[in-house]
Chains A and B, each alone.
Chain A
Amino acid sequence: MIIESLTSGIPTLFVKADGPMRAGLTFRVGIADETLPLRGITHLVEHLALFQHGAADHHYNGSTDATATHFHMQGTEEQVVRFLNGVCASLRDLPMWRLTAEKEILATEAVTRNSSGSLGEVLAVERHGAATFGLGGYPEWGLPAIAGDDVRDWVRTWFNRDNVILWIAGAGVPSGLELELPEGQRRPLPPAVQVLPATPAYVNVGMNAVAAQALVPRGPAARVYAEVLERTLFGQMRQDAALSYTVATAYETWGGGDASVVAVADTLVKNQRVAVDQFVTTLNAMSVGVGQADVDGAVARLSDALAEAERSAKWLPRLAVDVLCGHPVTDLSVQREALAAVTAAQVTEIAGRAWRTLLVAVPHGHLMERAGFEETPQFSRFAVLGTRHRSYYPDASLVIADDGVTVESRGGPRTVLFDACSGVLAWPDGGRHLVGRDGIQVRIEPTLYVAGVKAVAALDARLPTGLTIAMPTRAADEIPTVRRLTVWRIRARRLGAAARRGLQRLRQAWWNRGAYLNYAVPAVLVVLLGLCVAAFVNEPSILFGVWAVMLSAVLWIRRTTLGRW
């Protein structure tokens, strides 16, 4: 039975439970609220807020996801009170002297996390681009340049009394909770803009796995769908065909009306083709029909999982996010009833919805068009019109215009418009890396363009303020270079081309000047020849023929020399 109340003006969700007390604060701010230049700031705030608890010997943690930041704790009533009061005190006055050190820690954390990689994040970037729900797929690029004032502004906007929920599972709401936070306002969810033009779609990734992500209406049927999908994929890809080791699905909600269902199956390089076919066939088959037995099994397993969640109070942070986003408070018993009422028809409908919104990641070299998938856009629809800078490499050029930048290659243009740009990484050596809101990226290395330095200067002059992300100095081997020999070869080729063009123009001028001469001399000769022949001919019909031949010869010479009749 869940009880709602107010603790120091903060909405509180309380559940009576045995064992140690579990409690936490959930703020409505996450990675999706950030921008690319401030990417990582929420995580940084979370680390700074928890710094003073570093030496304590109790179980506490913090986490930052797409739309929420959690601080939670397990222990005695007294420990919980101290922790929560401490977090609020830290948020009121963050230990700014730790800024540099915590940035280092975050950079280290990112390295360890990136080595495992996440297909779900890759898919989120493909679906949402470099804004809101796609930002999680980008590194914490903002960290090096984020200053103390940025952090203070961020905390003032998001970490306030009206944008948080307290949740507790234990014997009772403990006394002594002060939880002093400044006033503010409840923040709405960022819009879940999609950049995919059409679905089902696919993207090629350099991983030995196949993954899929779908957006479906949230609810028990979608949860059951994810569970049935995992079991079916496990049975077919691991048990029957021995194609995969790990088969997993995840059902995630962010507080909005939709849930994301992600499925991943790994595979060997030699089995890729079969594995992708099997994976896609399974998803397609489920969109046509799901068996009642599968649904019943999934409902039973999910009910067990709910019971487990009740024991560990793990469902409370998720509920807190939903309540922060305006959903009603639903008790576990209600959730259990809704789960038991799910029918196979409902799950099939969700599966059909999932198929229509599907985005799959497949290893390189797969043509998913065979299965009716559209490729996600790897190029832009258009190029900008502006000053063209030639690259040392053939078939590539850079265009800098007042409204954006384009890099053209043989495959097509990649354009980032300044008013649809998420951020620009700027290195001191002149390297620029523009990220468009649609996820299209343009890399400009001045060393690879004939007038590279000039191009970068022109770009910097046009960039709107607030987009640049200052990056630390790069090592010399990280900057691409063109060999000196290549530079000279290209210069020589360009000189040769200019000389050839000049020669051609000269030759053309000569021909144009002499055109009438070229036409007139042969024409006069032909006419003279015709007169000579005609002088010896008495037969009128032959004479007529000779004149006809002569006339057509003159016309033909005129056509070939002048290029017109």
Chain B
Amino acid sequence: MLSLIIPVRSALHAVYPDLRPLRTAAKARDWAAVSRYFDALPPGFDATTAVTMVSQIRGIGRWLQLMVDTHREDPLPRLLLGAHLIIVGWKVRSSYRAQYVGREQFALFHEYLYRADRLLSDVTAVQPGSTAAWTFRLDTARGLGFGLPEARRRYAKAAESCAAPFAAQRKLVQQLCPKWGGDFKAVREFTRECLTQTPDGGICGAVVGEGYLEARFDYDHGHVNAAEIREDLDVASARILHADFQPQHGWVAAHSLLAASFVVQLDKDAARPHFAALGNTFSSYPWQMFDFSDAAAFRKARYAALGR
């Protein structure tokens, strides 16, 4: 009963405490501190989550534009502004399926994404190894309908300089789904491939869960062989629950994906360790697919699994 009072959190800065100083700096519009944070990241680090968090701050667009104009040779403001424009553009589009989105909405959406893609292509030209920029360019490619080969090329670039490009993998899974012009066979193949490349303690195997949930919630195209998927889910679960696990950006989403997948399979026992690892944190996706409120969906599922 007490757990009802304790809030559950999905905001990135609440879930990953190491992002808090960055958020404070960005909210204070302190460019030197923001820049210092990104400079201090080790090479090969996937900065996608950090960039997402900054670009989600309400009303930061104007300041980022100013930083783009004043720090002319620095690719970082362009990366942040590009990510921000993608978020604004998707807000304009809304998350409905294409047939429910108006024509003007689409035009404006495309305009934002083109602008974002131009900024990000400039970042990738200066820093071809920027995993975050290539990851966001997967979003623009998806929204602008550049097609699967281009999405795969961008994913390959994102994966080139990063050992565990979890965010990019998740975005490519979305692109491979029938709603964005792919099919579940390709999703299956890709998530399998990601799973086999995941070492013990790695989180990337959880994309299997994302592919599975997308298929389960797509009533038109999704035909899932539950037993076959189950094997993969078990492997992914074993990887992330391994003793070598180190928390990294994306681990909350990974546990959420696996927990939700086991919930869908009606297997509380398998979901339990993931809920236990999550505690009071969760990621909005996939729980938003279960209920109007992602937090309520998470609470319900956690209560069923853990009894709290």
Residues in chain A within 8 A of chain B (CB atoms): 197-198, 367, 369-372, 374-375, 377-379, 381-385, 410-412
B129, CB-defined interface residue at 8 Å: no
B193, CB-defined interface residue at 8 Å: no
In the complex, chain A residues whose CB is within 8 Å of the CB of B122? 197, 377, 381
B244, CB-defined interface residue at 8 Å: no
- Distance of A377 Cα from B124 Cα, bound (Å): 13
Asked if B146 and A370 make an inter-chain contact with CB atoms under 8 angstroms apart, the answer reads yes
Interface residues on B, range: 20 to 34
Asked if A382 and B118 make an inter-chain contact with CB atoms under 8 angstroms apart, the answer reads no
In the complex, chain B residues whose CB is within 8 Å of the CB of A370? 146-147, 149-150
B115, CB-defined interface residue at 8 Å: yes
- Distance of A197 Cα from B118 Cα, bound (Å): 11
Choose, from B68-76, B184-192, B224-232, the stretch at the interface.
B68-76
- Distance of A411 Cα from B122 Cα, bound (Å): 15
Smallest CB gap from B124: residue in A: A198
A372 and B121 in contact (CB under 8 A), knowing A383-B69, A412-B115?
no
User: Shortest distance in angstroms between A366's beta carbon and chain B's nearest beta carbon?
Assistant: 12
- Distance of A367 Cα from B125 Cα, bound (Å): 19
Asked if A381 and B149 make an inter-chain contact with CB atoms under 8 angstroms apart, the answer reads no
A374 and B146 in contact (CB under 8 A), knowing A369-B141, A381-B78, A412-B115?
no
A367 and B146 in contact (CB under 8 A), knowing A374-B125, A377-B122?
yes
Asked if B70 and A369 make an inter-chain contact with CB atoms under 8 angstroms apart, the answer reads no
Asked if A382 and B141 make an inter-chain contact with CB atoms under 8 angstroms apart, the answer reads no
Asked if B114 and A374 make an inter-chain contact with CB atoms under 8 angstroms apart, the answer reads no
**Count of inter-chain pairs, beta carbons less than 8 A:** 51
A-B contact pairs, 7 of them (CB 8 A): A198-B128, A370-B149, A371-B150, A381-B78, A382-B69, A382-B70, A385-B69
Contact with A along B109-125 (1 / 0, CB 8 A): 00100110010011011
Set A197, A375, A385: member contacting B70, Cβ < 8 A? A385
Smallest CB gap from B114: residue in A: A411
Smallest CB gap from B75: residue in A: A381
In the complex, chain B residues whose CB is within 8 Å of the CB of A378? 118
User: Shortest distance in angstroms between A374's beta carbon and chain B's nearest beta carbon?
Assistant: 5
Smallest CB gap from A379: residue in B: B118
- Distance of A412 Cα from B144 Cα, bound (Å): 17
5 extra interface residue pairs, beta carbon distance < 8 Å, beyond A197-B121, A379-B118 = A198-B121, A372-B150, A382-B68, A385-B69, A411-B111
B308, CB-defined interface residue at 8 Å: no
B126, CB-defined interface residue at 8 Å: yes
Smallest CB gap from B145: residue in A: A367
Residues in chain B within 8 A of chain A (CB atoms): 66, 68-70, 72, 78, 111, 114-115, 118, 121-122, 124-126, 128, 141, 144-147, 149-150, 153
Asked if B118 and A375 make an inter-chain contact with CB atoms under 8 angstroms apart, the answer reads yes
- Distance of A381 Cα from B67 Cα, bound (Å): 11
Set B68, B115, B128: member contacting A411, Cβ < 8 A? B115
- Distance of A383 Cα from B72 Cα, bound (Å): 9
Interface centre among B66, B122, B128, B141 (most CB of A within 10 A): B122
| 7 tightest Cβ-Cβ pairs between the two chains A and B | A197-B125, A198-B125, A369-B146, A382-B69, A370-B147, A382-B72, A383-B69
In the complex, chain A residues whose CB is within 8 Å of the CB of B111? 410-411
User: Shortest distance in angstroms between B147's beta carbon and chain A's nearest beta carbon?
Assistant: 5
User: Shortest distance in angstroms between A386's beta carbon and chain B's nearest beta carbon?
Assistant: 10
- Distance of A384 Cα from B68 Cα, bound (Å): 10
In the complex, chain B residues whose CB is within 8 Å of the CB of A379? 118
User: Shortest distance in angstroms between B2's beta carbon and chain A's nearest beta carbon?
Assistant: 21
Smallest CB gap from A401: residue in B: B69
- Distance of A381 Cα from B72 Cα, bound (Å): 7
- Distance of A377 Cα from B150 Cα, bound (Å): 19
Interface centre among A198, A382, A383 (most CB of B within 10 A): A382
Smallest CB gap from A384: residue in B: B69
- Distance of A369 Cα from B149 Cα, bound (Å): 10
- Distance of A372 Cα from B126 Cα, bound (Å): 17
Asked if A369 and B118 make an inter-chain contact with CB atoms under 8 angstroms apart, the answer reads no
User: Shortest distance in angstroms between A249's beta carbon and chain B's nearest beta carbon?
Assistant: 26
- Distance of A382 Cα from B115 Cα, bound (Å): 12
Smallest CB gap from A199: residue in B: B125
Asked if B124 and A369 make an inter-chain contact with CB atoms under 8 angstroms apart, the answer reads no
In the complex, chain A residues whose CB is within 8 Å of the CB of B125? 197-198, 374
User: Shortest distance in angstroms between A116's beta carbon and chain B's nearest beta carbon?
Assistant: 32
- Distance of A82 Cα from B239 Cα, bound (Å): 88
User: Shortest distance in angstroms between B145's beta carbon and chain A's nearest beta carbon?
Assistant: 8
- Distance of A411 Cα from B112 Cα, bound (Å): 9
- Distance of A383 Cα from B150 Cα, bound (Å): 30
- Distance of A384 Cα from B126 Cα, bound (Å): 21
- Distance of A371 Cα from B147 Cα, bound (Å): 9
In the complex, chain A residues whose CB is within 8 Å of the CB of B69? 382-385
Interface centre among B70, B115, B150 (most CB of A within 10 A): B150
In the complex, chain B residues whose CB is within 8 Å of the CB of A372? 149-150, 153
User: Shortest distance in angstroms between B81's beta carbon and chain A's nearest beta carbon?
Assistant: 10
In the complex, chain A residues whose CB is within 8 Å of the CB of B147? 370
User: Shortest distance in angstroms between B157's beta carbon and chain A's nearest beta carbon?
Assistant: 10
In the complex, chain B residues whose CB is within 8 Å of the CB of A197? 121-122, 125-126
In the complex, chain B residues whose CB is within 8 Å of the CB of A411? 111, 114-115
- Distance of A372 Cα from B152 Cα, bound (Å): 10
In the complex, chain B residues whose CB is within 8 Å of the CB of A375? 118, 121
